[in-house]
Amino acid sequence: MFFYYLKLAKKSLLKTPITTALMVLAIALGIGVSMNALTLNHVRSVNPMPEKGKQLFALQLQTMNKIGTRHTYDDMPMQVTYQDAINIQRMTPSIRQISSVKTGFAIQTQDPDFAPILQSARATQSDFFEMFNIEFLYGGSWGKEIDHSPDNQVVIAEELNERLFGGGDNLGKNIYLNQNSYRIVGISKSWNPKPKFYDLNNGQFQRSEQVYIPFSLLPVHEYPSWGNNNGWGPEKIDTYQDKLNSEIMWIQYWVELENNDKKSDFLNFLAGYVEQQKKLGRFERDDARGTLRNVEEWLEYNEVVGNDSNILVGISFMFLAVCLINTVGLLLAKFLKRAPEIGVRRALGANQAQVFLQHLVEVGVLGFLGGVLGLVIANIGLFILRNQYDGFDVLATMDMSMFIAAPLIAISATVLSGLYPAWRVCTTLPSIHLKTQ
């Protein structure tokens, strides 16, 4: 029966090619524009750590004075101070947690002909890799003891390994970071979470760093932060040690807590820590506290999706609604015009349900055509975006779910809008039309 209806649909659609074309075009434009907007939104709202999204928490501490403000809605700073990072880790040794900060180096190899390249790097701790599920091609992280007794060891990512050595196992070789010799202990597999949730400071869709060095080396070599350094009060910083002792917030801090019990334990610990620090004259605000946000909450808190993206999705779906209303109008006109023919079919024994289904199939075909064309339009739009705007090579790409979603949304939306016209035509009495003939 379905194929018979398909045949009927084809016949009917081809009978009025202009109306059909207009309807398909209207649906396609509506789907195309809204899919385009939705793709931009979807890519931004993807959780980059689905496996561990509920176990990894960004730590925030309200260390500011009473008049300090940040751009967040609750005025909480996004980063922590060096002293808090060191204190908290020392006080809770059983919990997996890492300090990390972006820095960078001029990199040279032992090959004197290799022109030095500038690369951003991440100073962090040995647990970073396991915490964020980063795999290794060769070797692994530096040992845990290096987190306390610094040593010039380095992990480089696959891409940099290609660039420096043309790939391969290069464990044990030395590279020079700002002329300091570092021994390669691990070569990690390419890891580029989008958004770059673990450090949203300088561009939410930046590439990940390809050089990892022990955090414990920071005070040794006095490496600067290449990310944001946020202060809130006048503090004179003359030396690197001044910065380490200061209230400047520049460290990204992540904690892994397997369940809610552990989370509430850690929050209790933080409350105690804030009280203790208050006695030392820090944390002077009434709302001084520590908070934990998991990956999803963290991305939402940082408004990674962005207002513009949400507005565009809203407006483009209103636009899709207009396109569909238009289609309903055209369908209604078309079906009713055909009422006499339906009258004959009814008189010959087709029941209401069959007539209804026949028309829905026709509408479904329209929706499918519109959806496919809409997909093409959306991809043309995304192609233009990728070429016209910097940084959209990641944002403006459809993943599989969007490819499936587009025609599905198109078909269900058109079928929905076809319900009324189909119902109208199947409920008209056949006798009326038979009479006038």
Partner 1 sequence: MLRNKSSVILMVLQVALTLAVVSNAAYIINERLELMQRNSGLDESQLFSFNIFTFDKAIDIQQQLELDENMLRAIPGVNDAVAINQVPLTGSGDSSGYRVQIEESGAKIVQAGVYRADEHVLKTLGLTVIEGRDFTQDDVIYATGASQPNTVIITKAMADELFPDGNAVGKDIYQFEQPIRIIGIVGHMQGSWLGSSYVNNNIFIPVVHPRTFKRFLINTDNTAIDRIMSNITQKMLALNKGRVVMEPNKLTDDLRDQYQSDDLMVNMLIIIISIILFITALGVSGMAIFNVNRRKRQIGTRRALGASQTDIITQFMIENFLMTAIGIIIGIILSIFLNGYLMEYFSSSRIAISYIMATTIGLVLLGQLAVLFPAKSAASISPAISTRSV
Q: Which residues would be at the binding site for partner 1 (CB under 8 A)?
A: 19, 22, 26, 29-30, 33, 36-37, 67, 104-106, 116-118, 178-179, 202, 224, 233-234, 236-239, 306-308, 310-312, 315-316, 318-319, 321-323, 325-326, 328-330, 332-333, 336-337, 385, 389-391, 420, 424, 436-437
Nearer to partner 1, 168 or 233 (CB): 233
Question: 188 or 246: whose CB is closer to partner 1?
Answer: 246
Helices 352-388/2-15 angle, 10° precision? 70
**338 with 12: CB under 8 angstroms?**
yes
Q: What secondary structure does DSSP assign to 26-46, as a single string?
A: HHHHHHHHHHHHHHHHHHHH-
CB of 308 to partner 1, least distance (A): 5
- Give the separation between CA 79 and CA 101, rounded to whole angstroms: 10
Is the Cβ–Cβ distance between 228 and 103 less than 8 Å? no
> Minimum distance between the CB of residue 94 and partner 1, rounded to whole angstroms?
39
In terms of CB distance, is 272 or 391 closer to partner 1?
Answer: 391
Q: The tokens of 43 are what?
A: 């890519």
For residue 292, the cross-strand partners are 59
Cβ closest to partner 1, residue 93 vs residue 234: 234
Residue closer to partner 1 (CB basis): 38 or 134:
38
List Cα–Cα distances, 169 to 365, 392, 428, in angstroms.
56, 33, 77
Q: Minimum Å distance from CB 164 to partner 1?
A: 15
Q: 256 is written with which tokens?
A: 């892994």
Count how many residues are written for the chain: 437
Q: Taking the complex as a whole, how short is the minimal distance between the CB of residue 422 and partner 1, in angstroms?
A: 13
Which string of DSSP letters, residue by residue, matches 76-125?
Answer: --SSEEHHHHHHHHHH-TTS-EEEEEEEEEEEE-S-TTSPPEEEEEEEE-
How many other C-beta atoms lie within 10 A of the C-beta of residue 67? Answer: 8
Place of tokens 């909480």: 76
Least Cβ distance, residue 142 to partner 1 (angstroms)? 23
Tell me whether residue 136 or residue 423 sits nearer to partner 1 (CB atom). 423
Cβ 235 to partner 1 shortest distance, Å: 9
Q: How far apart are CA 126 and CA 214, in angstroms?
A: 7
Shortest reach from residue 121's CB to partner 1, in Å: 12
Between the alpha carbon of residue 233 and those of residues 25, 175, 249, the distances in Å are 59, 39, 11
What's the min distance (Å) between Cβ of 232 and partner 1? 9
Minimal distance in Å, beta carbon 238 to partner 1? 4
- Helix, strand, or coil (residue 179): coil
E strand or H helix at 249, and its extent?
strand 249-256
Do residues 153 and 142 lie in contact, with contact meaning Cβ atoms separated by under 8 Å? yes
Closer residue to partner 1, CB minimum distance, 4 or 420 = 420
For residues 40 and 295, which CB has a smaller minimum distance to partner 1 in the complex? 40
* Between 8 and 385, CB nearer to partner 1: 385
